[in-house]
Amino acid sequence: MIVTRGLTKRFGSVLAVDHVDLDVRAGDRYGFLGPNGSGKTTVIRMLLGLVFATSGEIEMLGKPVPARLREVLPNVGSLVEGPSAYGHLSGRANLALIDAAGRAGGRRTRRRRIDQALESVGLAGIDTRPVRKYSLGMRQRLGLAAALLRAPKLLVLDEPTNGLDPLGIREIRDLLAGLNEAGTTVFLSSHQLAEVEQLCTRVGVVDRGRLVLQAELSALRPATGRVIVHSPDADRAAAELDGLIASRDGDRLVVAEADPAELNTRLVAAGLRVTEIRPERRSLEDLVLQLTSPGADRIGRDPGQPGRDPGQPGGRRPPPAGDAQ
Amino acid sequence: MIRVELAKLVRRPRTWGSILLLCALPTVVAVFIAVTHVAPAPGQGPALLSAVLSDGSLYPAAALALVLPIFLPIAVAIMAGDAISGEASSGMLRYLLARPVGRTRLLVAKLISVIAYVLGAVILVAVTAYATGAGLFGTSPVVVTSRGLAASAVATSLSGTPMTPADIAVRTLGAVAFIGVSMLGVASIALFGSTLTDSSLGAALGALAALITSGVLVALNSAASVSPYLPTRYWLAWADFFREPILWRNIERGFAIQGIYVAVFLAAAWANFATKDVTS
């Protein structure tokens, strides 16, 4: 659905996107991740023909972009950097205007399609209040409704659940999963990693303009070969498992042992109580934090230190090598 | 898309607010003149205003003369300056382009909506002015001379031709068209500015700065060499429609210079917008 080859964008002296090779397949639920300022939005803008690439190729729905944008975009629903609407008009009037703009609208079906889109994003009972009186969550839903108006084959969504409450996030997640099952490919950018973990089947991670990872989510999260044990008898357990303890934090032990069942038998045989035992998996959060540098919105005093220490996912950065302190 | 832009223009409170203000100024002036019966002496004050006391059907032209120097260009610059940058700052530009609406198409639709606004504003000013003029001053024949208009009372001493209502209507239409085209020149400068920046105010102020500069240079003798090429040079030439015979020379030049400004700035606006990275 989306293929880019060597996609590069330079804004003046800033290299915003650097040789990105995206591969989003039909039917994917693709999570596009990365810190703020890593180039996610610029990539999305290039996909939609808003920003022109410095070099590289884009293919969407099998057609080159931006050369054949006019054929591609009617099949693409998008939400880019937050929803927008004309504040003095009602939600319905906004959808009617946006649907009438451009060609593939279809006047006769407009009212029905607007009703359907509003219904699916949970705004069916919307009144004639002007959009400027809407809450952030309502605007977000309206933006999604605009993206869904033409039953697109591909949804390109930048932060689709921004501004929604937990229930709203869940509704949108269910909506996107439902659309995906009905055949829509979903490409969404987010930094809400938990949300992506629950929805997406495939992820791509960008860091400072480069695509540092692109893979199936299931392949990214194998067991680490360690087991996490919570026990009120942590002291005795640590003594019992001497040499296997990788780390300890209160009553939480990380044990270098691949089989939780085996470990559990051993602990119970020794008369130790276990409240929780499970294989350790890397979370998507750990993975992403390991692969990426701090967001561009974090302006520290320390000059740019590439990457984070893989041993300390999400943790503090070590002093630069060779630093005398 | 053109229909969508026109619908947006009509449904926008700002459109009607600005037109209301434009129509209000000549009405206020008419009331003052009608109450006091003190009109500027012929040749002084805004063009034609001295003649309206005797013939109210001239008031549309006088009203246009009142709004032309400042009010009308400001309104046009604001509307045209808002065309693209307003969409950009409201965040709708990206959604329109991703609809997809072709960039050239969007620019053309915006231009047509600006033209509709300009013509609508000028015509509404003329119509309300005709209503106030005819209502407050009545209509009686006025003669037109090579030096302009004169009330019929003094016309006997001048070798003028009395103007029939049809004559006035035709001349007023000519003036409306001329002023409309002059305002299109302003609109194209502002539209070009609108593709350069995401700030509507910036685009409108840019266009007004260009007009003020032009106005200053036109009045400056040492800038006489460039003055024929300045956008405001022939703005007042519409008054030549109210001479007998009509002085076509400056009217023609005015149309030509505005045509050139419109063509150049629209081409620049198109070239810039069609290749621009939309990051708003």
Q: Do residue A239 and residue A208 come from a single domain?
A: no
Note which residues in 180-239 of chain A have CB less than 8 A from chain B.
none
Burial class (CB in 10 A: 0-12, 13-18, 19+), B263: exposed
Chain segment A4-42, per-residue pLDDT in tens: 999 999 999 999 999 999 999 999 999 999 888 889 999
ipTM of the complex: 0.81
Rounded Cα distance, B176 and B126, in Å = 8
- Cβ count within 10 A of residue B170: 14
Rounded Cα distance, B143 and B10, in Å = 40
Residue A93 falls within a domain, yes or no? yes
Q: Do residue A182 and residue A64 come from a single domain?
A: yes
Q: Is B6 on the interface with A (CB under 8 A)?
A: no
Kindly determine whether residue B99 and residue A102, on different chains, have CB atoms separated by under 8 Å. Answer: yes
How many independent structural domains does chain A possess?
Answer: 2
Long-range contacts of B261-266, Cβ-Cβ distance < 8 Å, separation of 24 or more: B261/B185, B261/B188, B261/B189, B261/B231, B262/B181, B262/B184, B262/B185, B262/B188, B264/B188, B265/B185, B265/B188, B265/B189, B265/B191, B265/B192, B266/B111, B266/B188, B266/B191, B266/B192
Q: Do residue A79 and residue A6 come from a single domain?
A: yes
Task: Name the H helices within chain A.
Answer: 40-47, 69-72, 91-100, 110-120, 136-148, 166-181, 193-199, 217-220, 234-240, 260-269, 284-291
- Neighbouring residues of A10: CB distance < 8 A, sequence distance ≥ 6: A16, A54
Q: In what order do the strands lie in the sheet with A210-216?
A: A76-79, A154-158, A185-190, A29-33, A202-207, A210-216
Q: Do residue A77 and residue A115 come from a single domain?
A: yes
Kindly determine whether residue A80 and residue B8, on different chains, have CB atoms separated by under 8 Å. Answer: no
Residue A308 falls within a domain, yes or no? no
Q: Is B243 on the interface with A (CB under 8 A)?
A: no
For residue A250, give the CATH number of its domain: 3.30.70.100
Predicted local distance difference test score (pLDDT) of residue B43: 62
Chain segment A117-145, per-residue pLDDT in tens: 999 998 988 888 999 999 988 999 999 99
Domain that holds residue A213: 2-219
Lowest mean pLDDT among A53-67, A219-233, B191-205: A219-233
- Cβ count within 10 A of residue A285: 15
Kindly determine whether residue B13 and residue A81, on different chains, have CB atoms separated by under 8 Å. Answer: no
Q: Do residue A236 and residue A121 come from a single domain?
A: no
Helices B103-137 and B59-67: crossing angle, nearest 10°?
130
Residue A15 falls within a domain, yes or no? yes
Q: Do residue A189 and residue A256 come from a single domain?
A: no
Do residues B62 and B165 touch, judged by C-beta distance below 8 A? no
Structure tokens at A299: 């302006």
User: What's this model's pTM, rounded to 2 decimal places?
Assistant: 0.82
Rounded Cα distance, A154 and A29, in Å = 10
- With a cut of 80, say whether residue A263 has pLDDT above it: yes
Q: Do residue A100 and residue A174 come from a single domain?
A: yes
Q: What residues of chain A lie within 8 A of the CB of B97, using their CB?
A: 48-50
Q: Is B17 on the interface with A (CB under 8 A)?
A: no
Kindly determine whether residue B277 and residue A78, on different chains, have CB atoms separated by under 8 Å. Answer: no
Give the domain-ending residue among A219, A235, A264.
Answer: A219
Q: Do residue A107 and residue A248 come from a single domain?
A: no
Q: What residues of chain A lie within 8 A of the CB of B90, using their CB?
A: 84, 86-87
- With a cut of 90, say whether residue A305 has pLDDT above it: no
- DSSP 8-state class, residue B241: G
Q: How far is CA A37 from the centre of its chain?
A: 14
Looking at the DSSP bridge assignments, the partners of residue A169 are none
B99 closest CB neighbour out of A45, A85, A101: A101
Residue A82 falls within a domain, yes or no? yes
Q: Do residue A207 and residue A242 come from a single domain?
A: no
Q: Is B95 on the interface with A (CB under 8 A)?
A: yes
Rounded Cα distance, B132 and B141, in Å = 17
Confidence of residue A61 (pLDDT cuts 50, 70, 90): very high
Q: Is A106 on the interface with B (CB under 8 A)?
A: no
Q: Do residue A25 and residue A166 come from a single domain?
A: yes
Q: Kindly report the nearest CA distance between residue B171 and chain A, in angstroms.
A: 40
Q: Kindly report the nearest CA distance between residue A21 and chain B, in angstroms.
A: 21
Q: Do residue A207 and residue A257 come from a single domain?
A: no
- Which helix H or strand E contains A224, and what residues bound it? strand A223-230
Q: Do residue A193 and residue A157 come from a single domain?
A: yes
Kindly determine whether residue B91 and residue A98, on different chains, have CB atoms separated by under 8 Å. Answer: no
Blockwise average pLDDT, block size 10, chain B, 280 residues: 89 92 92 83 68 81 88 93 93 92 92 93 91 83 62 44 80 91 94 94 95 94 91 89 85 95 96 92
